[in-house]
Structure formats: structure tokens, C-alpha cells
């Protein structure tokens, strides 16, 4: 009995041992599968890590996900969204931009579009620690379903796997995998997906950092280029003929100009300066700029009359390297150079109709495009234009666009010719003598009274510029320290009469009366003092008064032009 009992016991222990061996074998198989799965996951993560390490832009990231992850998991599309700075919306960051999205109804992914974070899916994603599987049809029944989800449903998507993107600051966005099948990815791969999302988060941080660095480098390069262009422009300005640092004169007409400048300078209103050639229109423009909030920025001048037709658009708006034959480097145009400053369009009446259209668009839209450029460049400039033409008549003739004229004629300023501000001639002459004497090295310190009277009697068709040139010529020809003679151009004063008309011969008294009346008109009725008719005629004021009375010259004769 004992031996049987022992045998029974032995058989019993033998059966128990076999079960243990079987259980252990099963555990080893499971463990081996887990190890193999873990090894596969590590291999995938290592491969992705190596690929992600070299990613520098969104295009590279899209290729890695589209080519490598699709080989491991079954999904049809994907989108990476990032939370915006407002912390209330998110926008598509990486997605298939070549997709036929316009063919599908709904709200497609767009980087420029903002989607609210206030929906059930976003809230679930932000609070989740692991990937979440969303059944699209079920989510669409939620009261707080996202508005954009219908788009993917219309494209046949049935399931979405959502992964939260995080960095040191917390949740930065979401990674969605879209599938047309349910149960497309087993939950045994969720840990792997979580690890992948961490790797992609690192890649996104690198991309954002690279984009920021690239933007900063572009800004630095653009700023550097602008500084170089400004330096070049200022050097050109310095090399040009001397420009007055201030407006010379105290005449009543000039005081009226000063009053207008004070009113308009502080605004951004467009100014149109009208006046004959040589009246100092650029000085008025500079005075407006220097009194404006833009005074610390450039005032860039464009001489519209000097723009060559073949290069005019490049001169105004700039060009990119290689945009046309001879464009060996990128060039910034005058509009872009004047950004935040003032753009002075001198002689704008000389512009071709083709250029008028392009300038009008730049003024209205406040944006330009370089030749060969792909992007729009916003500009913030104050426009001052000048012309010696009657633009309204040019509009009637069809030589100037009416819409551009009314766009420019916001605040017109008419600059008087020199013959209407004779009282400023003495001050202008003294200014030019001092400056030109220093420039030429000639010791000329003044002008004689007779020579000044000669200047006062001249008609000045070339205005202030002509006065400056005549003073310079006279200084170069003068042997003395005082200008005693002014070399005025000869003007044919003979009156032209038509054939058949008899030329009336005037008496001495008639000639004297006409001459005195002409001088009085030039002096606007002023008889005595500096700039008065008596000084110009080189006779005492009392003598002139006697002649006026004798010749029966009345005030209405002087005022009647």
C-alpha cells in the first residue's frame, strides 16, 4: 500500500511539473513576442529619430511621415496642427498641400485658417496622456463636434487617431492620422505612436526654431541691403549739386507757403507742389518732410522726367536677380527704399501713361511687387509730388490719368515765381554770393546797388535756379570783391507787329510813364524802402512821387495787370 501510495504521489507530482513547464513555455513565448515587439518599436523609433534629426523644414517632415509611417501603419492621410499664440485657436502646420481638397465639401486644412480649440475633440486631446481613437460618425453626433470634421467625413474617413504634441511648455498641437477603415491601428502600437509623437514634437520645435532664425536672417539681410542702398542713395545726393538747407526769403507770398507747410507737415496727406521750373519745389518738399514725424527716415527723390522707359519699372519697384537680361543682382526700388519715409515724385507730369497706372496701383494698394518677385511688399510712405505742368489741362488732353491726378491733388501748394517775390532777391543774392564765393575760392563779399537794381528789373524766366547760375557766372568774371556788374542774358524787347499793322511811335513822356508803371507793378505798388520802385529806378522817393502825380498814374493802373 505504501508503495502504491508513493507511486500515486509520484504521478501526482509528475503531472504538476508538466503543467508548470507548459505555463512557463507559454510565458516565454509571450515574453519573446513582447521583446520582439519592443525591438521592432525601438528599431522604428531609431529609424525615425535618424530621419527626424535631419529635418529642417515642413516639406521634409511631410515626406518622412508620408513615406515611413505609412509602411508601418494603415492610414490614408494625416494633418499636424499647432496651437496659435492666442491659445484659443489652432492652424494646420503640415498637411498634403497637393490634395484635391477643393473637390470636397466642408472646411479643408489651410495654414492661413484658424480653427477654434473650443470643441470636444481638442479638449479630449489636451487632457489625454495617450493616443485617442475617434469614430468620425460618432463624433459628428456630439454637440461640440469640430466644424472641420465634416470635410474629412465627406472624403470617406471613418476613423481618426489623435496624438498630442508636447514640448517643455506643454501641449503645442495635435497629430491626426486619418483612415477609411475602422480599427485601423491596434492599441498595442499606441505606446509606439506616443513615442513617435514625441519625436515629431522635437522635429517641429527644430523647424520652428529654423524658421525663426531664417526670418531673422532675412530681416538682417534686408536691413543690411536697405542700409547699403540708403548709403548709396545719400552718397549720390551729396555728390549732386548743392541743395539749399533752408528756404530763403521773407516775402508775403513765401510766408503763405510756410503757413501751408505748417498745416500739412504733421499729417500723412499727399501733397502736390505746383510751380514753374526753378522755383524751388524740391525745397518745399524737403521742408514738409523735415517738419513731419518721418523726418528721421529718408526722403527719396524720383525725377520722373529722367526715368528711362526700359528701366523705369525697375527703378521704381526694384527687381530680383535674373528677372531680366542684365539683372545680375537683386535691386531695391525707390518705393521700397522710401518705406516709413517720404517719396518725392518730381516732374510727375512727365510720366508715361503706362507708368501712371503702375504708380496709381502702388499708391492705392500701398504695396508693390519687384520685377521677377513672387511676393507682395507692403509699403508705408508719404507721397509728395511736384510738376511745372498744368495737370488738369493734361488730363483734358488725355496725357495724364484723371484718377491719378485726383489721388495726388489732395493738398496742392503753388510756389510763386521769382518775379512775384522781388523783395526776396536781395536776400537770395547775398546767400548765393556767400556760398558760391566759398565754393569757387573767389573773395566776393557783396553786390553794388546798381547791380542789385539790375537784378530787380529782370523778368527771371528761369526763377531762383537762373539767379543762382547768374551769380556764379558773375563771381567768376568779377575782378573785384564787390559785384558791380551782372551778366544778364540779352532779351529782345522789340514788340512784334502783324503785317499791315502800323507801329506806333511813343513820345518820351509815354515811354517814361510806361517804364515807371512797369516797375511799380513789379514792386506791387511799393515806392520807397528796400525793394521799392524808387530804389530800382535809382531816384529819390520824393522825385518818383512827383513823377507819378505828373504822369497821372493811379493805384488802379498799378493793380490792373
3-class SS letters over 438-451:
HHHCCCCCEECHHH
Average pLDDT, the chain: 82
**Domain closes at, from 377, 392, 416:** 416
Residues 360, 455 within the same domain: no
Q: Which of 377, 394, 266 is nearest to 330 (CA)?
A: 377
Please report, rounded to a whole number, the percentage of residues in the chain having pLDDT higher than 70: 84
- Asked if 410 and 430 sit in the same domain, the reply is no
Quote the DSSP letter at residue 304.
G
Q: What is the total count of domains within the chain? A: 4
Which residue, of 416, 438, 468, is where some domain finishes?
Answer: 416
Q: Domain check: are 175 and 315 in the same one?
A: no
Residues 412 and 423 in one domain: no
Q: Is the pLDDT of residue 45 over 70?
A: no
pLDDT band for 219, please (50, 70, 90 cuts): confident
CATH code for position 447:
1.10.8.60
Cα distances from 310 to residues 68, 303, 316, 324, in angstroms, run: 52, 15, 12, 11
375 plus 424 within the same structural domain = no
Does residue 488 surpass a pLDDT of 50? Answer: yes
Residues 472 and 533 in one domain: no
Measured CA to CA, the distance from residue 126 to residue 170 in angstroms comes to 9
Task: Label residue 35 by pLDDT band (50, 70, 90).
Answer: confident
- Which stretch, 442-456, 511-525, 530-544, has highest mean pLDDT? 442-456
Are residues 467 and 456 part of one domain? yes
User: 221 in a domain, yes or no?
Assistant: no
pLDDT digits (tens, 9 = 90+) for 157-196: 999 999 898 888 888 999 999 999 988 887 777 877 888 8
**344 assigned to some structural domain:** yes
* Domain around 148: 58-211
233 occurs within a structural domain:
no
pLDDT above 50 for 239: no
- pTM reported for the whole predicted model: 0.52
> Both 423 and 412 in a single domain?
no
Average pLDDT over residues 460-478: 90
Q: pLDDT tens across 100-118, in order? A: 888 888 888 888 889 999 9
Q: Cβ neighbours of residue 482 under 8 Å, at least 6 residues apart?
A: 444, 445, 446, 447, 448
9 pLDDT exceeds 60? no
**What is the radius of gyration, based on Cα positions, of the chain?**
43
CATH number of the structural domain spanning residue 390 = 3.40.50.300
- Residue 140 in domain: yes
Reported as a single tens digit per residue, the pLDDT across 366-402 is 988 888 887 888 989 999 999 999 999 999 999 999 9
Nearest CA-CA partner of 511 in 471, 461, 547, 556 = 547
The percent of residues above 90 in pLDDT, for the chain, comes to: 27
Summarised one tens digit per residue, pLDDT across range 421-434 is 888 898 999 999 98
Q: Which residues pair with 135 in a beta bridge?
A: 159
CATH number for the domain spanning 197: value is 3.30.450.40
pLDDT of residue 13: 52
Alpha helices by DSSP H, listed for 478-554, are 508-522, 533-537, 541-550
Q: What is the mean pLDDT of residues 331-341?
A: 87
Q: Is residue 150 part of a domain?
A: yes
Same domain as 364, residue 310: yes
CA 231 to chain centre: 18
**455 belongs to a structural domain:** yes
Q: 406 and 432 share a domain?
A: no
270 and 284 together in one domain: yes
The arithmetic mean of pLDDT across residues 505-522, rounded, is 76
d(CA 153, CA 105): 10
Residues 287 and 386 in one domain: yes
- Cα(341)–Cα(320) distance, integer angstroms: 23
Amino acid at each position: 500500500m505504501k508503495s502504491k501510495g508513493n507511486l500515486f504521489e509520484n504521478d501526482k507530482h509528475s503531472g504538476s511539473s508538466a503543467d508548470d513547464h507548459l505555463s512557463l513555455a507559454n510565458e516565454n513565448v509571450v515574453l519573446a513576442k513582447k521583446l520582439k515587439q519592443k525591438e521592432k518599436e525601438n528599431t522604428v523609433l531609431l529609424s525615425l529619430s535618424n530621419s527626424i534629426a535631419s529635418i529642417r523644414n515642413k516639406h521634409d517632415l511631410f515626406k518622412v511621415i508620408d513615406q515611413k509611417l505609412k509602411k508601418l501603419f494603415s492610414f490614408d492621410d494625416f494633418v499636424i496642427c499647432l496651437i496659435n499664440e492666442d491659445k484659443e485657436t489652432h492652424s494646420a502646420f503640415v498637411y498634403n498641400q497637393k490634395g484635391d481638397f477643393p473637390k470636397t465639401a466642408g472646411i479643408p486644412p489651410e495654414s492661413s485658417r484658424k480653427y477654434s480649440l473650443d470643441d470636444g475633440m481638442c479638449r479630449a486631446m489636451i487632457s489625454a496622456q495617450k493616443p485617442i481613437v475617434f469614430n468620425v460618425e460618432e463624433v459628428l453626433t456630439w454637440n461640440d463636434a469640430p466644424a472641420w470634421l465634416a470635410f474629412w467625413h465627406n472624403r470617406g474617413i471613418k476613423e481618426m487617431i489623435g496624438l498630442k504634441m508636447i514640448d517643455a511648455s506643454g501641449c503645442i498641437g495635435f497629430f491626426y492620422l486619418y483612415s477609411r477603415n475602422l480599427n485601423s491601428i491596434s492599441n498595442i502600437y499606441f505606446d509606439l505612436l506616443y513615442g513617435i509623437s514625441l519625436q515629431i514634437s522635437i522635429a517641429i520645435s527644430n523647424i520652428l526654431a529654423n524658421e525663426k532664425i531664417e526670418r531673422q536672417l532675412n530681416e538682417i539681410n534686408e536691413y543690411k541691403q536697405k542700409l547699403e542702398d540708403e548709403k548709396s542713395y545719400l552718397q549720390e545726393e551729396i555728390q549732386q549739386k548743392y541743395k539749399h538747407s533752408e528756404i530763403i526769403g521773407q516775402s508775403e507770398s513765401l510766408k503763405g507757403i510756410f503757413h501751408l507747410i505748417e498745416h500739412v507737415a504733421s499729417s500723412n496727406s499727399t501733397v502736390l507742389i505746383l510751380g514753374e521750373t526753378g522755383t524751388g519745389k524740391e525745397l518745399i518738399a524737403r521742408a514738409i518732410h523735415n517738419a513731419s514725424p518721418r523726418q528721421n527716415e529718408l526722403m527719396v527723390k524720383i525725377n520722373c522726367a529722367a526715368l528711362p522707359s526700359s528701366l523705369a519699372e525697375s527703378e521704381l519697384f526694384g527687381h530680383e536677380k535674373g528677372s531680366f537680361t542684365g539683372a545680375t543682382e537683386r535691386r531695391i526700388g525707390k518705393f521700397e527704399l522710401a518705406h516709413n519715409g517720404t517719396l518725392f515724385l518730381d516732374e510727375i507730369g512727365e510720366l508715361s501713361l503706362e507708368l501712371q497706372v503702375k504708380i496709381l496701383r502702388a499708391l492705392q494698394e500701398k504695396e508693390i511687387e519687384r520685377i521677377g518677385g513672387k511676393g507682395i511688399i507692403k509699403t508705408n510712405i508719404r507721397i509728395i509730388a511736384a510738376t511745372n505742368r498744368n495737370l488738369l489741362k493734361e488730363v483734358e488732353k488725355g496725357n495724364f490719368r484723371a484718377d491719378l491726378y485726383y489721388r495726388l491733388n489732395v493738398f496742392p501748394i503753388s510756389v510763386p515765381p521769382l518775379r512775384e517775390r522781388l523783395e526776396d532777391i536781395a536776400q537770395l543774392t547775398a546767400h548765393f554770393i556767400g556760398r558760391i564765393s566759398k565754393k569757387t575760392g573767389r573773395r566776393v563779399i557783396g553786390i553794388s546797388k546798381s547791380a542789385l537794381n539790375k537784378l530787380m528789373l529782370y523778368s527771371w524766366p528761369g526763377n531762383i535756379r537762373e539767379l543762382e547760375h547768374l551769380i556764379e557766372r558773375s563771381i567768376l568774371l568779377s575782378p573785384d570783391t564787390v559785384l558791380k556788374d551782372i551778366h544778364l542774358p540779352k532779351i529782345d524787347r522789340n514788340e512784334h507787329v502783324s503785317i499791315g499793322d502800323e507801329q506806333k511811335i511813343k513820345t518820351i513822356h509815354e515811354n517814361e510813364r510806361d517804364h515807371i508803371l512797369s516797375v511799380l507793378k513789379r514792386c506791387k505798388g511799393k515806392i520807397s524802402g528796400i525793394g521799392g520802385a524808387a530804389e530800382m529806378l535809382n531816384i529819390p522817393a520824393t522825385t518818383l512821387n512827383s513823377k507819378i502825380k505828373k504822369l497821372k498814374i493811379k493805384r488802379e493802373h498799378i493793380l490792373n495787370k
